[in-house]
Structure 1
Amino acid sequence: MSEFYAEVDEEVRREQLKKLWDRYSLFIVALAVLLIAGVGGWRAYQYVEGQKAAEAGAALNKALELADQNKHPEAEAAFADLAAKAPYGYRMLARFHQAAEAAIRDKAAGAKLFDALAADRSIGTEQQELARLRAAGLLVDTAPYSDIKQRLESDAAAGGTFRHAARELLALSAWRANDATAARQWLDMIALDGETPPSLRSRAEALQALLPPVAKS
């Protein structure tokens, strides 16, 4: 008797499943197709992006080789092409290298490209700071101290990633402008920072020696 009831229950379950399938089969099939298409599309996207990254990596290496061979106009053009077309990470690297190559022929042109990077919030804060530093380094011999100060003063504050280099450029710019007070301010910050690299500390001490003595009150 129990076997009979078991067979009846099984038959009822089959009938219920058949009704569910008849009602929802189109939705189930459509969902399965969408899932398969989604997985396939994601795999295709990953493959395409991988190919783009491989091509960009090869192009970046070729541009770097041109730079190493002192073929700077060709290298600059290659980096510019990458900066326009490559995936994000390679594009950012290419822009930095393009600016450096441009600076070889024209410091102002290189500084302009670094300024564009410094203004681009999409590349990250540290990269922006580095771009500001590179631009200021190109202009420190020609730009007025007020310009260099405007560019680097915030980056020279305590805790800044590139504060040591920023302070050195500010001190050098102030010294070139014959502003001994400002130069001393930045040199003192270099001297008092326990994390100042030894080589930079030595250069700061040498520059300090070139300043006129402080007037005694």
Structure 2
Amino acid sequence: MATHLDFEEQEQLEQFKHFWKQYGNLITWVLILVLGGFAAWNGWNYWQRDQAIKASALFDQLDQAAQAGDADKVQRAFDDIKERHPRTVYAQQSGLLAAKTLQEKGKTDAAKAALTWVADNAGEDEYRAIARLRLAALLIDQKAYDDALKLVNSSMPEEFAALAADRRGDVLLAQGKKAEAQAEYEKAYKTMPESLDYRRLVEAKLTSLGAAPAPDAAASAAP
């Protein structure tokens, strides 16, 4: 009985040796790749978390400086975060907040630079769209109408289409093209949800052009 079992074990051992000789290297490399990929994935996640934590701390500094109205500290904090952690969402948010504060403090060129950075480097389409719309408003104030129009004509997420149309209307109106501006305002007004407060501002623009929109059907039917 023992001899029979020994023969079976020997046969299984020989089969295993033959199998390992044929596939051993392949199995080893597959394990190395799988384990290496797992380690790399964990390392990437750790790096991202570390970057986010550090970027968050810098954003807090920028936010405090913005609340205090300290434009110089805001600029320094934004420079730090875009240099050290440019791919984090905090860098994009910092650019928008820095631009707002810098503009309020009369540092228009610095505000433009911050918005341009977000428009060119943001990872999310939404942040790029917001930066372009705000930058276009600054360019309108500087009478750089062609540059402003180029920004609002660039590709944007669908949910920003109405705001882009409204900003195009602003550019065209500043250029004295009232009919074209009215068409853009009407497009914006029709596209915006009725519940959006900003829609009333677009309505006011249309009214100033002598093209007040007709009351909504729901409002007309109300007693």
Same fold flag (TM > 0.5): yes
Over residues 64-112 of structure 1, what are the superposed CA-to-partner deviations in whole Å (9 max), with x where a residue is unaligned? 1221222221022112101100162233333333333433332233223
Following superposition, the deviation at residue 39 of structure 1 comes to 5.8
2:162 counterpart of 1:178: no
- d(CA) in 2 for partners of 1:32, 1:194: 55
Which residue does 2:96 correspond to in 1? 96
Amino acid at match of 2:179: T
Which residue does 1:111 correspond to in 2? 112
- d(CA) in 1 for partners of 2:154, 2:170: 17
Amino acid at match of 1:131: A
Q: Secondary structure at the match of 2:143?
A: coil
RMSD: 3.8
Q: Which runs of 5+ in 2 are unaligned?
A: 212-223
Following superposition, the deviation at residue 42 of structure 1 comes to 5.6
Q: Structure 1 stretch 146-155 or stretch 73-82: which is displaced more?
A: 146-155
Which residue does 1:77 correspond to in 2? 76
Matches within 5 A, 1:1-217: 2-14=1-13, 43=42, 46-86=45-85, 88-89=87-88, 90-104=90-104, 105-120=106-121, 123-154=123-154, 160-193=158-191, 195=193, 198-211=196-209
- d(CA) in 2 for partners of 1:162, 1:136: 14
- d(CA) in 2 for partners of 1:192, 1:102: 34
Following superposition, the deviation at residue 200 of structure 1 comes to 2.8
Following superposition, the deviation at residue 130 of structure 1 comes to 1.9
- d(CA) in 2 for partners of 1:38, 1:194: 47
- d(CA) in 2 for partners of 1:37, 1:202: 57
- d(CA) in 2 for partners of 1:114, 1:173: 18
Q: Compare CA radii of gyration and give the structure with the larger one.
A: 1
Q: Secondary structure at the match of 2:141?
A: coil
Following superposition, the deviation at residue 56 of structure 1 comes to 2.0
- d(CA) in 1 for partners of 2:71, 2:61: 12
Amino acid at match of 2:163: A
Q: 1:133 to 1:26 in 2, by over 3 A?
A: closer
Which residue does 2:214 correspond to in 1? none
Following superposition, the deviation at residue 116 of structure 1 comes to 3.6
- d(CA) in 2 for partners of 1:110, 1:145: 18
TM-score by length of 2: 0.69
Q: Secondary structure at the match of 1:195?
A: coil
Q: 1:206 to 1:108 in 2, by over 3 A?
A: same
Following superposition, the deviation at residue 151 of structure 1 comes to 2.2
Count residues in correspondence: 209
Q: 1:196 to 1:106 in 2, by over 3 A?
A: farther
Amino acid at match of 2:51: K
- d(CA) in 2 for partners of 1:37, 1:17: 26
Amino acid at match of 1:195: P
Amino acid at match of 2:125: T
